[in-house]
Amino acid sequence: MLKELAKFKGFSAKNLPKEEPFAPGHRACQGCGEVLALRLALKALGMNVIAVSATGCMEIISSPFPYTSWRVPWIHIAFENAAAVASGVEAALKALKRKGRFPKNRRVDVVAFAGDGGTADIGLQALSGALERGHDFVYICLDNEAYMNTGVQRSGCTPYGAMTTTSPPGEKSIGQMTWKKNVPAIAAAHGIPYVATATPAFFLDLMNKVKKAALVNGPAYVHIYSPCPTGWGSKGEDSIRLARLAVETRIFPLYEVIEGKYYITRKVTKPKPVEEYLKLQRRFRHLTEEHIREIQQRVDAEYERLLRLAECL
């Protein structure tokens, strides 16, 4: 176990921080799981942070001038560079502390937020660079499995079979034709100290992971599954239900990779069939039984792979 984490007791339902670094009055859709993930992540981090956002839903809904939902210092530059901007913030803090222009002992966590598009696709290079350089920062991918801000286009994180506006099902297509890109594995391949997956349905787990990500020295990556009723064609009230089902069906397993070692943080011994999850969302409505079988097989295989990763080490 990393020594930075030794003292961390973890949050519990009883000792949740009171502060809300993210204010209400934002413009996210009703039942948005992404803004909930964002809110919980910030709650875990507290007020001593500098936040960087990539362009995307969360940036748009939080900052239509003259209103901001950010109660912590925040900067948004562009879509593909949150990790690079965060690198600059982190380097500046380091230099200023060393030169006595920022209080040396004042802890400031630098955190970058981006959607799945801003992370897995257009921002992957900047992310990889920042992880490889070893900046002490947290990168949080809020994965709602498509480019929502621009009207639900597919991304590298869109799951197989899903309907988006650029992966429409048709005679020659089942919708998204590729399997979801495994960004946490890419992050882990950089040999960074901490990688985790989380979902707002398990909010304590989410908050603890984000806090740990901040506590470790060096880069940390947290991939948060974030239901999007608007893009998925699901009911707003079902966002938490879907986030839970994604875990219970093994579609989105919860784990940590600490110093290269995989730990499954929520073992799913009796998985629910993927169909239970798929049928609640319009984006999967066109799938046939055969497609669903195919997805089930893939999910099973991926989970096996993950189990092996967690065991053999």
Ligand X SMILES: Cc1ncc(C[n+]2csc(CCOP(=O)(O)OP(=O)(O)O)c2C)c(N)n1
Residue ranges in contact with Mg ion by CB under 5 A:
115-116, 144, 148
Determine if the peptide bond prior to 66 is cis (ω within 30°). Answer: yes
Binding residue for ligand SF4, selected from 22, 34, 69, 90, defined by CB under 6 A: 34
Rule CB under 6 A: is residue 230 a binding residue for ligand SF4?
yes
Distance between CA atoms of residues 185 and 181, nearest Å: 9
* Sign of torsion over alpha carbons 26, 200, 48, 53: negative
Binding residue for other proteins, selected from 5, 8, 17, 129, defined by CB under 8 A: 129
Strand 173-174, strand 74-76: pairing? unpaired
Q: What is the DSSP letter of 22?
A: B
Rule CB under 8 A: is residue 52 a binding residue for other proteins?
yes
Binding residue for other proteins, selected from 70, 147, 252, 284, defined by CB under 8 A: 70
For helices 33-45 and 203-215, angle between their N-to-C axes, nearest 10 degrees: 50
Select the binding partner of residue 116 from Mg ion, ligand SF4, other proteins, none (C-beta < 5 to 8 A, by kind): Mg ion
Q: Which stretch binds ligand X (CB under 6 A): 95-103, 105-113, 143-151, 211-219?
A: 143-151
Residue partners of 120: CB distance under 8 A and separation at least 6: 141, 143, 155, 156, 157, 181, 183
Distance of alpha carbon 112 from the chain centroid = 11
3-state secondary structure 232-273: HCCCHHHHHHHHHHHHHCCCCCCEEEECCEEEECCCCCCCCC
**Measured from the CB atom, is 216 or 242 closer to ligand X?**
242
Binding residue for ligand X, selected from 118, 169, 184, 200, defined by CB under 6 A: 118
Size of the site for other proteins (CB under 8 A): 79
Binding residue for ligand X, selected from 63, 68, 128, 150, defined by CB under 6 A: 150
Select the binding partner of residue 61 from ligand SF4, ligand X, Mg ion, none (C-beta < 5 to 8 A, by kind): ligand SF4
**Measured from the CB atom, is 128 or 230 closer to ligand SF4?**
230
Give the contact letters, 53-82, x = binds to ligand X (CB under 6 A), - = no.
Answer: --xxxx--------------------xx--
Shortest separation between residue 145's beta carbon and ligand SF4, angstroms:
10
Residue type for position 190: H
**Measured from the CB atom, is 95 or 301 closer to other proteins?**
95
Binding residue for other proteins, selected from 67, 276, 279, 304, defined by CB under 8 A: 67
Per the DSSP assignment, residues forming a β-bridge with 222 are: 140, 196
Residue 65 burial (10 A CB sphere; 0-12, 13-18, 19+): exposed
Give the contact letters, 51-70, x = binds to ligand SF4 (CB under 6 A), - = no.
Answer: ------x---x---------
Per the DSSP assignment, residues forming a β-bridge with 50 are: 110
Distance between CA atoms of residues 252 and 198, nearest Å: 9
Shortest separation between residue 285's beta carbon and ligand SF4, angstroms:
18
Binding residue for other proteins, selected from 3, 7, 9, 13, defined by CB under 8 A: 13
Residue type for position 185: A
Q: Interface residues with ligand SF4 (CB under 6 A)? A: 28-29, 32, 34-35, 57, 61, 144, 148, 228-231
Q: Interface residues with ligand X (CB under 6 A)? A: 34, 55-58, 79-80, 114-118, 144, 147-150, 155
